[in-house]
């Protein structure tokens, strides 16, 4: 476990350094555009998607530092979705990662544009990197599909649709798969594409890990410490969101999370190489308190 | 002129047919996501950017029908920007192309997501097409940069920043260049990249045409017929937007538009081939009433 934490710090530290450098180079006018993009990109967070990309690349035998631009694009896509999710018309969240949300700092219009700019710039990076070769283009294409109307955006749309309604387990599965799992799986699949590893297995594991991530997210909303989590808690119940807790209750959710973690570990047994770091990720996501 | 109109109808008709087919194939869940994307994509409009792409491709000796997916991506990027621009937090426009804006029909949250989905799906298409070859990737990359934080989004941000303020001619030029010109120039530059034609000349002409487009847009807001234009007019003055009319007055704007059109035509004289259709485009944009 100590080794896992050390490695996590290595990946995260490398990413933070590169992201800071990238952000320092952004000199977009008007200033508020650059500042709002930087504000959300540099507000910390666990950097789960970049770390997963790096870990999977190393596992599949690739130098992870070479793909930092793909990691930045991943984080930009994730960050745009948080900014837009937090908007008053959407989830209306005033806090994110312990800081005021983008629209609280820069106003709604600038927050919409910060999200739009981050999404656009993610694809500027991806289309730039795609020039390096067909595998990179395929990896970028996978990310685009995971983020778009058959991916994350569909999940956000379903999330809104089912607010205040009774939802079945299947409907919940749809939300989970699209809202969260596809973008958590994306870095693992992208690494497999880049390394010529088993994409199907990579995706199965990534989607299961994403599901675990969302189950524990729903649990944190009920039982978490808002100072640790860095956002307003108890909002799911208040807004009658379709969550695991609403459909199954807390106790059954804990069991589902355990089952899900076990499935992740079982899938990892099928990986070539030594997926110890990814095992550590499963444990971390299962036991996370933020 | 008759020939120009005939050709415009050919390009536009081809595009509408292909776009309709593309939209019919979209089966995203939830339904509201698909419907909101279709609603804005199929609400008509002049299809200026696709038509410019097709015309420039033919001028440079390429089969324009082969690049319909790039044209659809262009229109998706343009359409996402309109949906987000119309939001209450942004320009707060209730009408677009003679129909209620997306947020009036689907609500604000769904309108935000419709825009996000269109932008994502534009890049899904672009990253798919980039697999056909390095020129296509470069063309797609150019579009991404024209749309993002050094392009259209910067223009929208500046547009907000200068609302209610005195603006200089230089500041107005910045807004024009970014908010409008870059995405009008993009199809002409993309065609040049795909055909191996002179990209610099293509960009100069496209940017000038974009400037003409925005000057006449500002003029229409003052003197247009709202039934013809399809949106609420007089809003620029009401919201004290930085427009050509505000900076120079109507009379001087008409002169600037004439100058701009003349510059466009002069640039076209330098093109190889027979740019008669593009000459027609310049006349159309100069004299448009919608």
Distance from the B149 Cα atom to the nearest Cα atom in chain A, whole angstroms: 5
Distance from the A73 Cα atom to the nearest Cα atom in chain B, whole angstroms: 13
B163-208 pLDDT per residue, tens: 999 999 999 999 999 999 999 999 999 999 999 999 999 999 999 9
Q: Domains (ranges, CATH) in chain A?
A: 2-287 (1.10.600.10)
Q: What is the 3-state secondary structure (H, E, C) of chain A?
A: CHHHHHHHHHHHHHHHHHHHHHHHHCCCCCHHHHHHHHHHHCCCCCCHHHHHHHHHHHHCCCCHHHHHHHHHHHHHHHHHHHHHHHCCCCCCCCEECCEECHHHHHCHHHHHHHHHHHHHHHHHHHHHHHHHCHHHHHHHHHHHHHHCCCCHHHHHHHHHHCCCCCCCHHHHHHHHHHHHHHHHHHHHHHHHHHHCCCHHHHHHHHHHHHHHHHHHHHHHHHHCCHHHHCCCCCHHHHCCCCCHHHHHCHHHHHHHHHHHHHHHHHHHHCCCCCCHHHHHHHHHHHHCCC
Measured between CA atoms, the residue of chain B closest to residue A153 is B117
User: Residue A9 corresponds to which tokens in the numbers above?
Assistant: 């710090």
| Owner of token pair 């939001």 | B87
Which residues in chain B have Cβ-Cβ distances shorter than 8 Å to A174? Answer: 29
Which residues in chain B have Cβ-Cβ distances shorter than 8 Å to A123? Answer: 123, 126-127, 144, 148
Candidate from A32, A120, A151 with C-beta closest to B157: A32
Distance from the A265 Cα atom to the nearest Cα atom in chain B, whole angstroms: 31
Q: What are the pLDDT tens digits along chain A (290 aa)?
A: 679 999 999 999 999 999 999 999 999 999 999 999 999 999 988 999 999 999 999 999 999 999 999 999 999 999 999 999 999 999 999 999 889 999 999 999 999 999 999 999 999 999 999 999 999 999 999 999 999 999 999 999 999 999 999 999 999 999 999 999 999 999 999 999 999 999 999 999 999 999 999 999 999 999 988 888 888 888 899 899 999 999 999 999 999 999 999 999 999 999 999 999 999 999 999 999 88
Query: pTM here?
Result: 0.98
Between helices A108-129 and A134-147, what is the axis angle to 10°? Answer: 150
* Residue A2, pLDDT score: 73
* Residue A290, pLDDT score: 87
- Whether A33 sits inside 8 A of B109 (CB atoms) is no
Candidate from A28, A89, A148 with C-beta closest to B120: A148
* Residue B1, pLDDT score: 61
- Whether A127 sits inside 8 A of B150 (CB atoms) is no
Q: Say which residues have a Cβ less than 8 Å from residue A31's Cβ, sequence separation at least 6.
A: none
Element (H, E) at B95: strand B95-96
Candidate from A89, A131, A147 with C-beta closest to B120: A147
Distance from the A148 Cα atom to the nearest Cα atom in chain B, whole angstroms: 5
Q: How many CB pairs under 8 A join A and B?
A: 161
Q: Say if the ipTM goes beyond 0.85.
A: yes
């Amino acid at each position: 476990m100590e080794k896992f934490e050390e490695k996590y710090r290595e990946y995260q530290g490398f990413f933070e350094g590169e992201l800071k450098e990238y952000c320092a180079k952004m000199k977009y006018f008007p200033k508020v555009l650059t500042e709002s993009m930087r504000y959300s990109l540099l507000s910390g967070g666990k950097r789960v998607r970049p770390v997963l990309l790096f870990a999977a690349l190393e596992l599949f035998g690739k130098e992870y530092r070479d793909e930092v631009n793909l990691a930045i694009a991943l984080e930009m896509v994730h960050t745009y979705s948080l900014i837009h999710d937090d908007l008053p018309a959407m989830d209306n969240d005033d806090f994110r990662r312990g800081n005021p949300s983008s629209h609280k700092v820069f106003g709604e219009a600038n927050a919409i544009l910060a999200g739009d700019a981050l999404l656009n710039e993610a694809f500027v990076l991806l289309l730039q990197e795609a020039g390096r070769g067909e595998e990179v283009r395929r990896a970028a294409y996978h990310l685009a599909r995971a983020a778009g109307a058959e991916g994350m955006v569909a999940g956000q749309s379903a999330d809104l649709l089912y607010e205040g309604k009774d939802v079945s387990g299947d409907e919940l599965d749809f939300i989970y798969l699209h809202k969260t799992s596809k973008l958590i799986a994306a870095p693992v699949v992208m690494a497999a594409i880049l390394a010529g590893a088993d994409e199907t297995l990579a995706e199965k594991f990534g989607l299961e890990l994403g599901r675990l991530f969302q189950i524990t997210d729903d649990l944190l909303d009920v039982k978490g410490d808002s100072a640790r989590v860095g956002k307003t808690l108890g909002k799911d119940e208040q807004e009658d969101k379709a969550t695991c807790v609403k459909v199954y209750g807390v106790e059954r959710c804990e069991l589902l999370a355990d089952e899900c973690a076990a499935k992740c570990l079982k899938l990892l047994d099928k990986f070539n190489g030594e997926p110890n770091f990814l095992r550590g990720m499963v444990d971390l996501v299962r036991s996370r308190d933020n």
